[in-house]
Amino acid sequence: MKIQRHGAVLGLVAASALLLGACGSDNNTAAGGSTPASGTSVPVECGGKPKLNAEGSSAQKNAVDAFVQAYKAACPSADLAYNPSGSGAGVKNFNAGLVDFGGSDSALKDGAETEAAAKRCQTNPAWNLPLVFGPVAIGYKVSGVDSLVLDAKTTAAIFSGAVKKWNDPAIKALNSSAALPDKDIAVIYRSDESGTTDNFQKYLTTAGGWTKGDGKQFKGGVGEGKEKSAGVAQAVGSIDGAITYVEWSFAQDNKLSTAKIDAGSGPVELSAESAGKAIDGAKVKGEGNNLVLDLNSIYGTKAAGAYPLLLATYEIVCSKGYDADTAKAVKAFLTVAASTGQAQLAEAGYVPLPKAFQDKILTAVKAIA
């Protein structure tokens, strides 16, 4: 799928540097800045397994395609096959040893997931390496409604079935000038296990009083499920009255309207600038080379002009435990992905790694054994 994006996405890069440059402490707040990687070239040691296999997040599929092109350019005899089966499948099949690394919109959960990953890695810890960042849109299609404002509380009510009509008083209170129809709301959610679902439900829990819980399975108990990011976006595009949560690039690709979010300081439209303002106040966490981001402070932000619904996509890898050929190829691919592979991400609706965080990723990749 070819996706054209506006150059405005580049504006998010500098803002994201404020968050990512501070990674590594449970109590840090975003501070300082760094120069975006912008496709910076670093030495790559090619070789090892000729064709890697990876699986998982469909949200990062277009980014991985760009990484593969750069990998093949740097290492002409190498290749990687990526199956965008969803984050849940990516984690499960990585832990089962069926793929060389997994892609997920959420870091491994403490407990069973982390323990299974360590077992797969020959009793060594798995690392969560974030390589792709992007906003999540609340995409909708309602005839005659070109502008829509939602807050987290109303969004939670819609996705739990408490608000069933587009002209419900809760929606009308946020959209006094809109001609809201007396039409049923058709909720579309991810039927497959998805880190996007996990992030969305965590946002609703933090900001909207959602009591259904989080996790990779949608727990709202209402609506119709569709597989993968492309599936939900395409479904909304074909149903008048539909609404979903989906990565911004997929909402744009399917020409969906996107709701503004009012977090308490007025309606905020999803844009590179507004996403960057949310990142500015984020707290981060991470220990050693296991680079896990804490997005809860973004979800609950009330900063003026900040769009609070964002996600990060991780590559889940073994710190140790690969055979020598696989380790060499995984390191080569991830080195390219974190450097020259970043050059095309802005055009695809993603956020290239800033220099400070690129260095952390490359340090972790180098330490894989």
Identify whether residues 130 and 144 lie together within a single domain. no
Specify if 299 maps to a domain. Answer: no
Same domain membership, residue 264 and residue 142: yes
Q: Is 312 annotated as a binding residue?
A: no
Is residue 59 part of an annotated ligand binding site? yes
SS3 state at 217: coil
Q: Which domain holds residue 204?
A: 135-277
Look at residues 71, 88, 87 and name the one whose alpha carbon lies nearest to residue 79. Answer: 71
Question: Confidence band (pLDDT; 50, 70, 90) for 284?
Answer: low
Question: How many folded domains does the chain comprise?
Answer: 2
121 and 175 assigned to the same domain: no
Within this chain, do residues 119 and 140 fall inside the same structural domain, yes or no?
A: no
162 close to 273: Cβ distance less than 8 angstroms = no
Q: Is 104 known as a binding-site position?
A: no
Q: Is the pLDDT of residue 321 over 90?
A: yes
Q: Is 1 contained in some domain?
A: no
Average the pLDDT over each of 32-36, 180-184, 280-284 and give the range with the smallest value: 32-36
191 is in an annotated binding site: no
The answer to which of 149-163, 274-288, 310-324 has the lowest mean pLDDT is 274-288
What pLDDT is recorded for position 23?
Answer: 35
The region of weakest confidence among 12-16, 66-70, 175-179, 189-193 is: 12-16
Which tokens hold the place of 199? 């992030």
- Which of 222, 251, 277 represents a domain boundary (last residue)? 277
Q: Are residues 141 and 106 in the same domain?
A: no
Position 78 in a domain: yes
Dihedral sign, Cα of residue 177, residue 209, residue 22, residue 54: negative
Find out whether 34 is annotated in a ligand binding site.
Answer: no
46 & 150 share domain:
no
Q: Is residue 107 part of a domain?
A: yes
DSSP assignment of 90-152, as one string? HHHHHHTTSSSEEEESSPPPTTHHHHHHHHHTTTPPEEEEEEEEEEEEEEEE-TT----EE-H
Q: How far apart are CA 184 and CA 163, in angstroms?
A: 9
Among 220-224, 247-251, 304-308, name the one with the lowest average pLDDT: 247-251
User: 229 among the known binding-site residues?
Assistant: no
Same domain membership, residue 146 and residue 262: yes
Tell me, yes or no, whether 94 lies in a domain.
yes
Asked if residue 195 belongs to a known ligand binding site, the reply is yes
44 plus 112 within the same structural domain: yes
Q: Is 249 annotated as a binding residue?
A: no
pLDDT at 347: 76
Amino acid at 250: F
Co-location of 182 and 120 in the same domain? no
Tell me, yes or no, whether 148 and 271 share the same domain. Answer: yes
38 and 15 both lie in a single domain: yes
Instruction: Identify the domain boundary among 253, 277, 301.
Output: 277
> pLDDT band at 271, cuts 50/70/90?
confident
Q: Examine the domain organization and report whether 147 and 238 are in the same domain.
A: yes
Q: In this structure, is residue 304 part of a structural domain?
A: no
* Domain assignment present for 301: no
Residue 45: CATH number of its domain: 3.40.190.10
